[in-house]
Homo-oligomer: A and B are copies of this chain.
């Protein structure tokens, strides 16, 4: 039997017998000849089957003609035939003249979604939606991006952690929290790996990363929020300030984007009309207060009750940075303590500011990072100042009571990076199976 060949590898083969497997994209069942476009995970190819006639010129109902006539879109088949290079064939300049065709599964004839279906409908039938080459490519890009991240870290002796998602206490706040019955008690789903990343510093691990799910019982329906998403987290010891975290993160992103550009740049250009730009180092850094002045000078009044930037402000500062420095990334630094969690370290010079940052990519925040407060008395005081009960934080505070080095880290939303990298407007497009307030299936 001929070994299966991926369709992308066909053009490099000489004319002759081949076997390919995939699903039926289109069938043109003409009187004298049948054409099938077959797609696999690597590409598409045209299959040709000239129909046989009897002595009187009447078409014979033989195989594989009869099966081809019955083929539905989406049916999975394996074919053998003769590969032929022919410049006149629009689809890659090759075709396969069929010898045999074996159907693995016939698809139901009526496909529930079409190219113009709305996003909710497409999510209902996500497994069909992902057959579209552009959509499938997203997850090949994600694979490359993540592997480049991990390789960057592994080469620098980071330890990969799998922090638990079941917790005895909330990891971030009492808001947006999923709870469940856990034998005789209650468990909470981790809103971030924050506690356990910091625990690794107390354990002396030095440098760690963790890529895994985080959960937010967030009832909002924006294009940028999900109830479950993949967090890309890192935490490192013996830093002098958040600047060390930022330096690591920009190197990490350069490693990731370099790998994506090298492996998928041409496909991304073809299917998304996007040029992958590998950012230069260092990324611009602007203190938040200065950024707000810049945004104000551009005529945008930030409309919030707190000291934070708003989404339009993020877009404006990104536009400013693009115009001024030609850069798609910007670190906003020195966030006020009022809008940061209690565990961010305060600035040495100004106790109203933190040693923290957000990273903005093409106008949208993808990361919060910070140096953490490691002095337990200061940490406890900061918790109390935020209205938290130190008793509820006792497990967490213990990590600091038995010694911990200065440390910091960041959390980054994987889907947000992909969304912005590929100029998509919605996390749903770049999440394998999106989870939102009204979306739990498939």
A interface, CB within 8 angstroms of B: 4, 21-24, 39-42, 72, 74-76, 78, 104-108, 111-112, 125-128, 130-131, 136, 139-140, 142-144, 146-147, 150-151, 154, 157-169, 178-183, 185, 187, 189, 195-196, 199-200, 202-207, 212-213, 215, 217, 219, 227-228, 230, 237-238, 374-376, 395-396, 398-406, 414, 432-433, 435, 437-438, 440-442
Contacts and interface: CB of A to CB of B under 8 A. Distances in A.
A120 B342 CA distance: 31
Contacts of A164: 213, 228, 432-433, 435
What are the 4 closest A-B residue pairs judged by CB atoms, nearest first? A107-B403, A41-B206, A130-B203, A180-B180
A213 B212 contact: yes
B139 A199 contact: no
Nearest to A178: B180
A153 B181 CA distance: 37
A441 B168 contact: yes
Contacts of A157: 41
Contacts of A139: 159-161, 205
A218 to B, nearest CB: 10
A184 to B, nearest CB: 8
Contacts of A395: 441-442
Nearest to A229: B162
A162 to B, nearest CB: 5
Count of identical protomers in the assembly: 2
B127 A199 contact: yes
A213 B179 contact: no
B203 A165 contact: no
Contacts of A213: 162, 164-165, 212-213
B160 A142 contact: yes
A125 B202 CA distance: 11
Nearest to A238: B21
A228 B112 CA distance: 37
Contact of A203 (B131, B150, B151): B131
18 contacts: A21-B238, A21-B405, A24-B403, A40-B206, A41-B205, A104-B404, A112-B402, A127-B199, A127-B202, A130-B205, A147-B154, A162-B213, A164-B432, A165-B213, A166-B435, A166-B440, A182-B227, A195-B442
Nearest to A406: B104
A275 B165 CA distance: 33
Residue among A204, A206, A402 with max Cβ neighbours from chain B (10 Å):
A402
Residue among A39, A75, A158, A441 with max Cβ neighbours from chain B (10 Å):
A441
Contact of A398 (B22, B180, B376, B442): B442
A431 to B, nearest CB: 8
A143 B147 contact: no
Contact of A158 (B131, B143, B398): B143
A199 B150 CA distance: 26
B180 A105 contact: no
A164 B230 CA distance: 9
A203 B398 contact: no
Nearest to A4: B238
B183 A437 contact: yes
Given A142-B160, A440-B185, A402 B206 contact: no
A162 B432 contact: yes
A419 to B, nearest CB: 15
